[in-house]
Structure 1
């Protein structure tokens, strides 16, 4: 064989081996791609749902252990599932009396589920928001549902550690105040006071509403050293981590001009308005009610009105019995609970940003404007569509659950609507009917809590990531509206 022919054969073998290596690499890459797809790693919304479902299942198994109950007997499956879902979804609705039914081990399990659920919600929601924003910026140069342009995708590890630091700072501060107050003011031992302070500070910051008192916090209704720190923790957790990033950067740049993001402006302004409206409404509507504020002094009425105005942000602590409140108060609370708190935080509901965007859309349509403007910014049409979709789906879900519970339970519309809104918005407030709904009713509430906690996050991200452009448009026609 000549030298030229041998070189040709060698080159063919070389190309063949390179081709084989390329095929093997691409085949392996395709296999990894399919595995990631099956595991939900390419779909953040699916991954979030799977993660929270796994946490609920893990918590249910722990609460089914005999050591989790005071009686030493295994709890019923639905009871354990309901409590685990309520804790992981940081809701606070209960079907059994927490300090009476659950042992110290059971209470610690609930506390751990609340902390994991709250931290997971904040971190995963924030990371999802950043992923969505980056995808949209790369494709269409617009902002997604929650504007976080001051936070870059950057180092996810650093981002999550920042959320952890904010969580621990607030929880430690509130825990210290509650511990000192319970020890010095109520005669608790320092160890038990620290345990109570830790439990309620974690529950408050994560907007969970679980309490180690059978009447929630009604025994401390007129004590500002208890109610004020708890309400501050609820507000802080409900604002959302992107807003705290803005507040931190603004505090560091006090001498430098700092422009606030639209998300931070909407969240802070709407939260302030809702707190003020709720505060005034609670005081006015319950001022003469002999079962709630009637016997209290003027100062105590103002304090309890403030505390109950904060709780629909969404934490289920009670300083007044909601089962004794006026119908008008319950309806007003329904609306506040449905709105909820800030995005990428521990609060539930449709979120204050969604509510504010809907108000801006209505205002623009009434004025006959083709586009929606907020401050000195124009909203993308997709953001308005997302807000409308989330709100309508939430209304449909609450309405359907209310109808179902009215068929299978003997309770009134006021009581059931309050319960379903509280469950969907992961608030935890109740008129006292949760434990009497029956197995089917409890399963409906479980589904509401899970969908309500994950629905707004997963739906918003799914809508933003799955944007399709039509290749053609049909002829336009305008039906009669209104």
Structure 2
């Protein structure tokens, strides 16, 4: 068994996440974690721990009122470790203790950070930790300033730190109470802007943040292709998403319909941003029109960017798929982005990831349709939100049966770990084929 898990970095990564979730569940199950002093049911503790570690935000109990300060601290620690990555945190402690990072540890880091090589990994880890702590500290201060108008200074700082870490890591946990998320701040421009910036920065990925930081230091330096694609696709999806939500919900009296024009626009932009893996919301999504809800499912499925705290198939995968379709329509052999040709292996991987993700969401949805008594769109929304580690819900989470909770836990785990990493971890070691079959032809389309 030990040899099985030590055989490859993906398997070590899988084991690490499982261990953290189980440890978190045990801590949340303790009476000291719950306000009423009664032990939390193990399945609910496991669900909450998985949701926090997988930075999802789906909850069966209201975080603000159900858990004590100790419980909040456990959730926050799980979110931080899950968002940045447990190997990144372990490397940080190793660096503090001045311990040498072994080759195996570098390979696991490479898998954890979704990098193509082990070159410069330790330097990247330092940047990841620095960026994360700096952004979370600034976010906590900005939140605390606003919360200070509604509560005591000490409580405002407490809420500021919790929400900054949760939202930057795209976890979606909040202390608002009564499952209300940020609905009380739906028209508050300050809170909306701070929250959106944290979600966007967390969703860009540390590779992009590092690239942008290096550009600030050297203006002659060019952005990498990865960074360009992430910025363009992310910006496009946010704008297009906001426009569609605004148009679909403009006259909906149950959502943004009664609001003035400016508040409608603000709510639409916020929902477009948070559906990409944020998890917090200022409007009750269950009151949206079905067309809007289905469009949000598409945004959740695309998700954030590689190496980020979010899930989904990732913006770069979506960009490669669109590029492949356009190349096929134009009769081109190569997929070209920003005048650079992509290797066929990248295109194959994008198609593979997308088909894997579609299959996983479909399977999860079918299981939930069997175990839960709810409308199909509601179930599909929940399954996609769990797999995309988004954390948005149309109200199904609190009604889930035990088999339904276990299904959501698995979806969150696969979404955070990544379908390909999970496949590499479970599959036997593959050897490169020493021959190629003769070419055959089939009719497509």
**Greater gyration radius:** 1
Structure 2: segments with no counterpart, 5+ residues? 90-107
Counterpart for residue 116 of structure 2:
133
1:208 touches 1:428 (CA, 8 Å); kept in 2?
A: yes
Instruction: Give, in angstroms, the shift of residue 361 of structure 1.
Output: 1.2
2:277 touches 2:304 (CA, 8 Å); kept in 1?
A: yes
Change (3 A) 1:445 1:395: same
Matched, 1:153 2:136: no
Matched, 1:171 2:136: yes
Alignment coverage as a number of residue pairs: 424
TM-superposition CA deviations, 1:21-77 (whole Å, max 9, x none): xxxxxxxxxxxxx97x5442x522111111111110110010010111111010001
Matched, 1:262 2:228: no
Matched, 1:84 2:49: yes
Instruction: Give, in angstroms, the shift of residue 217 of structure 1.
Output: 0.5
Counterpart for residue 56 of structure 1:
21
Instruction: Give, in angstroms, the shift of residue 88 of structure 1.
Output: 0.3
Distance 1:448 1:459 in 2: 12
Q: What aligned pairs does 1:70-469 form with structure 2 within 5 A after superposition?
A: 70-120=35-85, 123=88, 127-128=110-111, 133-134=116-117, 153-154=119-120, 156=122, 158-183=123-148, 185-186=149-150, 188-213=151-176, 214=178, 215-254=180-219, 256=220, 258-456=221-419, 458=421, 468-469=431-432
Instruction: Give, in angstroms, the shift of residue 154 of structure 1.
Output: 2.7
Instruction: Give, in angstroms, the shift of residue 287 of structure 1.
Output: 1.1
Counterpart for residue 47 of structure 1:
12
Distance 1:423 1:436 in 2: 15
Change (3 A) 1:155 1:396: closer
TM-superposition CA deviations, 1:175-208 (whole Å, max 9, x none): 111101111x32x100000001111100110000
2:113 touches 2:307 (CA, 8 Å); kept in 1?
A: no
Change (3 A) 1:448 1:94: same
Distance 1:126 1:313 in 2: 25
2:40 partner SS: coil
Distance 2:114 2:362 in 1: 32
Structure 1: segments with no counterpart, 5+ residues? 1-33, 135-151
Distance 2:113 2:35 in 1: 44
Distance 1:130 1:326 in 2: 38
Change (3 A) 1:121 1:226: farther
Greater Cα shift, 292-301 or 122-131: 122-131
Change (3 A) 1:357 1:480: same
Distance 2:121 2:443 in 1: 51
Instruction: Give, in angstroms, the shift of residue 474 of structure 1.
Output: 2.0
TM-superposition CA deviations, 1:150-175 (whole Å, max 9, x none): xx72361x322211110111111111
Distance 1:131 1:433 in 2: 32
TM-score calculated relative to the size of structure 1: 0.84
Distance 1:130 1:228 in 2: 28
Supply the RMSD in Å over aligned alpha carbons. 2.2
TM-score calculated relative to the size of structure 2: 0.91
Change (3 A) 1:92 1:130: closer
1:271 touches 1:352 (CA, 8 Å); kept in 2?
A: yes
2:139 touches 2:198 (CA, 8 Å); kept in 1?
A: yes
Change (3 A) 1:462 1:55: closer
TM-superposition CA deviations, 1:128-153 (whole Å, max 9, x none): 2778523xxxxxxxxxxxxxxxxx72
Instruction: Give, in angstroms, the shift of residue 99 of structure 1.
Output: 1.6
